[in-house]
Chain A
Amino acid sequence: MKHASGDKRFKILEAHIKKFQGRQDALIEVLHRAQELFGFLEDDLLLFVAYKLKLPASRVYGVATFYHYFILKPQGAHTCVVCTGTACYVRGADKVLSAVEAKSGIKAGETTADNEFSLLTARCLGACGIAPTVVYDGVITPHQTPDAAVARVNEWLPHDH
């Protein structure tokens, strides 16, 4: 069965599922790929995966919600992930985070109303030697300060005030 929307990405996902011969234990692999393709895991997408892997929807939903890496809501066009692992914390990551929160008016885990910017946190990126670290649009950046972080995300924020 094809997905009714005709969206090509479903086909790519289906090919990926075939690579695993439809094995149910590939669920997490499949969800990774789905999120890569679609950006986040919508209910409709989860149902598609459940159908293709012949798993109950509850099982797929249960797994998708268990793991922090899977996101069920759309993200902003730009993302800023502040590492709040121990090494970054003792080097002042909490101050970096509060500065970005203050500037953007949103809390960690939220997205601005115009869907342009999401602020997220991570528990250690394994780059503790260059702490504190922040990931801007997927690029790990070393030795961040509150000022540097605010300057960096400023252009992604609405400027109507």
Chain B
Amino acid sequence: MIIDDLDAIAEAERSSAKKTVIRCCMAAGCMSSHSEAVKTSLEKIVRDSGLSERIEVRGVGCMRLCCQGPLVGVDPDGIIYEKVTPEDAPAVIIATQGGEANVKRGDPTHPFYTKQLSIVLANSGLIDPERIESYIAVDGYRALHAVLREMTPNDVVESAIKSGLRGRGGAGYSTGLKWATVAKTPAAQKYVVCNADEGDPGAFMDRSVLESDPHSVLEGMAIAAYAVGANQGYIYVRAEYPLAIKRLQIAIKQARQTGLLGSGIFESPFSFTVDIRIGAGAYVCGEETALMASIEGRRGTPRPRPPFPAESGLWGCPTLINNVETFANIPVIIRKGAEWFASIGTGLSKGTKVFALAGKIENTGLIEVPMGTPLRQIVEEMGGGAPGGVKIKAVQTGGPSGGCIPASELDTPVDYESLTRLGSIMGSGGMIVMDESTRMPEIARFFMEFCMDESCGKCIPCRTGTVQMHRLLDKIVRREATPEDLAKLEELCDMVARTSLCGLGQNAPNPILSTLRFFRNEYLELLQAQPDGKPAPAGANAT
């Protein structure tokens, strides 16, 4: 494989493009609403009516507005159809030849679409994720070529630093600095690991990226491997994502056959292979040291850091571990330049972030917006607010490690620092909207039950602390708690956060602390009156 071969594939793909392209969403959300039958039906009609020369029916990745699926898009007309059934297929095809189809139309001018800025999702919903040619036709693997032919590993690390990209898996550590550490640790063997465990309930960004554009992740990993000096990569995917696993397997196979993975890529001395490791349903395995234990075939329990994986990771070798979305940003940063990337976003949070909008919100699905976009714009303008015009009460970000941001703070820009200031975290990108019907102490109990179940049991503060906190929350929700119980709960929050071994325990109190901070009254209302008969003292502001 040399650049001319890549060009030839791209050219062949582009020149065989047909006049009309009908895109059918083949990501997990729409597939569960039978989009495959819709696609089959469209293909049959195109064939039967002799339109194969003019119309291509293409299976694509996530088209964003999951709640209205199955989604079908028609180019170049710019039409989006929603809730399409196989019976709608004839009308959709007839409409491509002029006329109107009596099929539910989406509104491409809605802020849900127009306020998005797609970097990571640029190809999602457009290309066929099961064909490498489709990715190559949109400049796929050009960044890898540029890196191998024109840049030293150090240039690549510099570029990552300059872009300001921060890890999208939760903690937000500088990607470039992490790469630099792995690069400068001398070792005969190094590894690159992609964290696709996506354990936060309510988050489905990484699943969508893998199902929609798996090659962008592979290309990002290969570039990272060149930068840090690794030749072997692993993608750790959770078992709950069978479709993502299948698409990755196809992508790896095609990349290997095309010579874009394997030895001597682009006739350079660089070799890189990628293997998939499938998780087995343990949330804690998203934590990097637990994840590596799991790749080694052991129980997924975390270990103290340092040493960080960058110095001693898989089998004791220096290991770079990044999140799916982090890797997917890399090829674009190389192609368009670190300066371009750094010009998007805010002072300390560069680029875009993909969020999964879910919960009590009209438009559920995937959005990608520049860092710094106000929460209000996301949930009200783009998300359309809560269904039935009900008032939004809070937005939960960061999953079981995050917090609830009250409606009064909706003007907060989403960036790492602002969300942390509100007692939540950016997290991996799950955004769950809650309306007035959601009781905050119950939500806190829900998350604590999750952490209690998922605690790996290695360290005592997390193992027993989560049980005790859950017990107290349960008591509160059942109106059996006293003010002393609440005081004990707050004390435990502090202890567990300070003394737990890994992020699971350290952050487990966050949902309690953030709901106490903004919705303390809801807790107080549930407490039994104090012994002296006085009503429980009034607490903080909200509700």
On whether A126 and B278 interact (CB within 8 A), knowing A25-B296, A85-B201, the answer reads: no
Question: With the chains together, A141 CA to B204 CA distance in Å?
Answer: 16
Question: With the chains together, A123 CA to B200 CA distance in Å?
Answer: 8
Question: With the chains together, A26 CA to B207 CA distance in Å?
Answer: 24
Question: With the chains together, A100 CA to B277 CA distance in Å?
Answer: 34
Q: Which residues of the other chain, A, contact B299 by a CB distance below 8 angstroms?
A: 62-63, 66
Q: Name A27's closest neighbour in chain B (CB-CB).
A: B297
Contact B32 A127 (CB under 8 A): yes
Question: With the chains together, A27 CA to B300 CA distance in Å?
Answer: 13
Q: Name A59's closest neighbour in chain B (CB-CB).
A: B298
> How would residues 36 to 58 of chain A score, 1 for a CB under 8 Å from any chain B CB and 0 otherwise?
00000000000000000000000
Contact A90 B360 (CB under 8 A): yes
- B239 in contact (CB, < 8 A): yes
Checking A29, A66, A124, A131 against B364 with a beta-carbon cut-off of 8 angstroms, the contacting residue is A131
Q: Which residues of the other chain, A, contact B430 by a CB distance below 8 angstroms?
A: 86-87, 128
Q: Which residues of the other chain, B, contact A124 by a CB distance below 8 angstroms?
A: 199-204, 240
On whether A86 and B280 interact (CB within 8 A), knowing A129-B204, A129-B365, the answer reads: no
Question: With the chains together, A139 CA to B34 CA distance in Å?
Answer: 10
Interface contacts (Cβ under 8 Å), in number, total 140
On whether A90 and B434 interact (CB within 8 A), knowing A25-B296, A128-B204, the answer reads: yes
The distance from the CB of A124 to the nearest CB of chain B, in whole angstroms, is 4
- A156 in contact (CB, < 8 A): no
The distance from the CB of A79 to the nearest CB of chain B, in whole angstroms, is 14
Q: Name A141's closest neighbour in chain B (CB-CB).
A: B32
Total interface residues on A, using CB and 8 Å?
A: 37
> How would residues 364 to 387 of chain B score, 1 for a CB under 8 Å from any chain A CB and 0 otherwise?
111000000000000000000000
Total interface residues on B, using CB and 8 Å?
A: 54
B interface list, Cβ under 8 A from A: 28-29, 31-33, 66-67, 69, 198-204, 207, 239-241, 277-283, 294-300, 356-360, 364-366, 396, 399, 430, 432-434, 438, 443, 446-447, 450, 454, 456
The distance from the CB of B420 to the nearest CB of chain A, in whole angstroms, is 20
Q: Name A122's closest neighbour in chain B (CB-CB).
A: B240
Q: Which residues of the other chain, A, contact B204 by a CB distance below 8 angstroms?
A: 124, 126-129
On whether A130 and B203 interact (CB within 8 A), knowing A32-B278, A62-B299, A87-B358, the answer reads: no
The distance from the CB of B61 to the nearest CB of chain A, in whole angstroms, is 13
Contact A69 B281 (CB under 8 A): yes
Q: Which residues of the other chain, B, contact A69 by a CB distance below 8 angstroms?
A: 239, 279-282
Q: Which residues of the other chain, A, contact B281 by a CB distance below 8 angstroms?
A: 67-70
Q: List 9 A-B contacts (CB under 8 A).
A: A24-B297, A29-B277, A59-B298, A85-B202, A86-B446, A87-B202, A87-B358, A129-B66, A142-B32
- A107 in contact (CB, < 8 A): no
Q: Which residues of the other chain, A, contact B446 by a CB distance below 8 angstroms?
A: 86, 89
